[in-house]
A = this chain, B = another copy of it.
């Protein structure tokens, strides 16, 4: 089963376009987890237990685990293996934003798919398709390419000659031979999201920036849906996992997203 198929099935099963970002910064997780043997894993397990019926994916961001070195990497692996075992129908997106020359990327492929066992990885486009071949050739794994990022200063290079549109066009026209590509477009840029939707047809778009970063749910959903009333993975991290009741926040945001799908 490919990443896209796995994703399509869970969207239907959980009636959800919501991805929970496991941005489990050790300093920000509740104190009852901080002194456990495996604090990030214990926290993630608790989040997953509460939310697995309401999400279409989990997205751990590598930075929050790397910050702790080898210990964090171990807990990232424990988290991925736990989700895979307990909830094998929920895809895991490894938000690592990698991108090196071809032969070097083989190491990142092994980290993501052999060691962690995730379903997809986020990638920088700057080195071009040729460099990313080691990822693109993994037919059953998703390549989620940064197109328009959610940060305030995203336009510095991405706006030059509408570079973000050129990235979208290239990915659709030539990178996606294995039908395993997706794009990242920030919820903080709904106008650009709508432009990119026109370029990419029904391709799935990962949309971060809802919640703590200030993206608007209605504008985002209306700008980003594909012809099948889906085609988006809308991520919320901190606003859910560090809330008082992550389950309630997940259900609430899932339902708010769904309100604008019809």
Interface residues of A, Cβ cutoff 8 Å to B: 23, 25, 61-71, 73-74, 77, 95, 97-102, 104-108, 110-111, 115-116, 124-131, 146, 149-158, 160-161, 163, 166-167, 170, 213
**Chain A interface mostly:** helix
Tell me how far the C-beta of A146 lies from the nearest C-beta in chain B, rounded to whole angstroms. Answer: 6
24 interchain pairs (CB within 8 A)?
A62-B107, A63-B98, A63-B104, A63-B108, A63-B111, A64-B104, A69-B116, A70-B70, A70-B71, A73-B73, A97-B99, A97-B100, A101-B150, A101-B151, A101-B213, A124-B126, A127-B149, A128-B153, A128-B155, A128-B158, A130-B153, A156-B170, A160-B163, A161-B161
Find the B residue at minimum CB distance from A186: B101
Whether A130 lies near B157 (C-beta < 8 A) is no
A218–B128 CA distance with the chains assembled, in angstroms = 27
Tell me how far the C-beta of A205 lies from the nearest C-beta in chain B, rounded to whole angstroms. Answer: 17
Whether B166 lies near A157 (C-beta < 8 A) is yes
- Set of chain B residues within 8 Å of A23, measured between Cβ atoms: 104
Tell me how far the C-beta of A113 lies from the nearest C-beta in chain B, rounded to whole angstroms. Answer: 11
- Set of chain B residues within 8 Å of A102, measured between Cβ atoms: 151
- Set of chain B residues within 8 Å of A97, measured between Cβ atoms: 98-100, 124
Query: Within the complex, which residue of B105, B116, B160 is in contact with A63, where a contact is CB–CB below 8 Å?
Result: B105
- Set of chain B residues within 8 Å of A150, measured between Cβ atoms: 101
Tell me how far the C-beta of A57 lies from the nearest C-beta in chain B, rounded to whole angstroms. Answer: 18
Tell me how far the C-beta of A187 lies from the nearest C-beta in chain B, rounded to whole angstroms. Answer: 12
- Set of chain B residues within 8 Å of A104, measured between Cβ atoms: 23, 61, 63-64
- Set of chain B residues within 8 Å of A116, measured between Cβ atoms: 69
- Set of chain B residues within 8 Å of A163, measured between Cβ atoms: 157, 160, 163
- Set of chain B residues within 8 Å of A154, measured between Cβ atoms: 127-128, 131
Find the B residue at minimum CB distance from A132: B153
